[in-house]
Chains A and B, each alone.
Chain A
Amino acid sequence: MFYFKKMMIQQFFFNGIIAGSIYFLIALGFTIIYRTVKFFNFAHGVVYAVGAYFAYTFFILLDINPIISFFSSVALAAFLGIVIDRLIFFPLRKHDAPNLVYLIASFGVFIFLQNLIQLIFGAQILTLRTGAIKEGHHFLGAVITDIQILIIGICLFLFLLTWLLIQKTKIGKAIRAVADDRVGAKVVGINPEKVIMAVFFIGSLLAGAAGILISLETNIEPTMGLNAILKGIIASIIGGIGSIPGALFGGLFLGLAENLGIWKIQAGWKDAIAFGILIIFLLLRPSGIMGIKTKKEQI
């Protein structure tokens, strides 16, 4: 993402858009899952990494066609999401566990899988990129490559696809019903467990896709999921947890804030800035910019 030429603010701006698109994609899957099951699924971050590692395995190690690699990896990531839900979150739903328990359990999944990846692939940095880096296009004083345009394009495409799915289809309606009132949905004949599985499928698919897309730009390494999920959570909360347009807003906002922020401040402080923003939002406006207001406790 960084080209060793004179960097003007436009470059930071474009970098912000690109980072923001990825954050948005992570946030999108995360926020849809949250809206339906009402807990923070930390494992989402490791599904992201798994997507990238599957793509590496298929495309680099097994030399399979890139398109097939992409779709297979994304599908496998989606299935992993379902497996995690059925094995771990479903039993918790039966116990009616508090949200915090799901969060901690999802941490456990994250740590387990991230280290499994490290065990299998080692800690070294891997890459999906083959061949020389192509020169980018000059646009409004910044440089943007084909790959970056592709990333932004796919992210937008997935946004529209997901939004249409949730808002305009029957399954989307069922998802919204279960998200709003799980018991009520049961009463009208919707099977919440099937809907939740669908949601984990969709969300994890998006996470896997995000992991692969980012790997076109940067390196693959076992801990890539941590930063990703943290940014995804922050973007979701800024934009409003549970809201799809919110994920878009939050992702872009975070990407821009980080990259414009490091125009003036040292790059290492990126994480601190992001978390500072998170904490401010949690304290002042936990429902985010566009989020659904969470029900207040009944006294």
Chain B
Amino acid sequence: MTMLQVQNLAKEFDGIKAADDIIFEVEKNSICGLVGPNGSGKTTVFNLICGYLKPDQGKIFFDGRQITSLSPHKISRLGIGRTFQNIRLFPQISVLDNVMLGFKYDKGENFSSALFQTKRMKQEERQSLLKAEEILKFTGLIEKRNVLAEHLSHGQRKLLELARILALEPALFLLDELFAGLFPETKRTMLNLIRNLKERGKTILFIEHDMNSVMGVAEKVIVLNYGKKIAEGKPEEVRNNEEVLSAYLGKRRV
């Protein structure tokens, strides 16, 4: 069962093909890695999938439904949650509020509910608060719930990025370099969280540019270089692929 399908995706900037005829699939409930050297187009692919960029060509399907060129907030609501490479938290509001923003409110978000402070809104708030605290416990951030996001350490920020999209309850997680700059301990925590998500039936596609982090957890790996897909397969197969090696090392193995 395919969760995500990317067909012939292409995007050009100032004459450079950031994405060049990219085709791949991500199976439901799998953990899949998108790797490649810096500048190979990985984040561009994420931006295209999530609607922040419009593809020049190609189609994107999520759970059988075409989502090409939908606006980013609609794609989020359909069930795709993404984190950002440069960490985009809401710095001047609390950790708790950061997570609370992920929840889908049917009535509470409504303007008139806010204006008249309806019972329904308050009820939803209470429920969301409980769910948010669950999520913070799950990611180990519960102690920091009232701290402003800008005062968190690097590792804690990454955890908060993940916590935030957990609130969204997406079916597909797109994680952009979640492991970058983490201490080994935090890396282990993160890996466990991801494995846990798989157990819960979620699908994960994550970008990493360090192959080794990927090996332990990915079931399938897709390798990009200069905007093109150059390999796809199980981690062990891919890591010995000639083209992949030369892309990373810059020279051919004799």
Whether the complex brings A and B within 8 Å at their CB atoms is answered yes
| A residues lining the B interface (CB < 8 Å) | 298-299
Interface residue range, chain B? under 10
| B residues lining the A interface (CB < 8 Å) | 43, 47, 52-53, 84, 86
Question: Main secondary structure on chain B at its contact with chain A?
Answer: loop
State the CA gap A299–B47 with chains docked (Å): 8
Contacting residues, chain A, for B52 (C-beta < 8 A): 299
Contacting residues, chain B, for A299 (C-beta < 8 A): 43, 47, 52-53, 84
Question: Main secondary structure on chain A at its contact with chain B?
Answer: loop
State the CA gap A298–B84 with chains docked (Å): 11
In the complex, 6 of the A-B residue pairs with CB atoms within 8 angstroms, ordered by the A residue number, are A298-B86, A299-B43, A299-B47, A299-B52, A299-B53, A299-B84
Within the complex, what minimum Cβ distance (angstroms) separates B36 from chain A?
18
State the CA gap A298–B86 with chains docked (Å): 9
| Chain A residue, CB-CB nearest to B72 | A299
Closest 6 CB pairs of A and B: A299-B52, A299-B47, A298-B86, A299-B84, A299-B43, A299-B53
| Chain A residue, CB-CB nearest to B53 | A299
Within the complex, what minimum Cβ distance (angstroms) separates A95 from chain B?
15
| Chain B residue, CB-CB nearest to A296 | B13
State the CA gap A193–B151 with chains docked (Å): 31
Contacting residues, chain A, for B43 (C-beta < 8 A): 299
State the CA gap A299–B52 with chains docked (Å): 8
Within the complex, what minimum Cβ distance (angstroms) separates A293 from chain B?
10
Contacting residues, chain A, for B47 (C-beta < 8 A): 299
Contacting residues, chain B, for A298 (C-beta < 8 A): 86
State the CA gap A52–B52 with chains docked (Å): 50
Within the complex, what minimum Cβ distance (angstroms) separates B14 from chain A?
10
State the CA gap A298–B88 with chains docked (Å): 11
Contacting residues, chain A, for B86 (C-beta < 8 A): 298
| Chain B residue, CB-CB nearest to A298 | B86
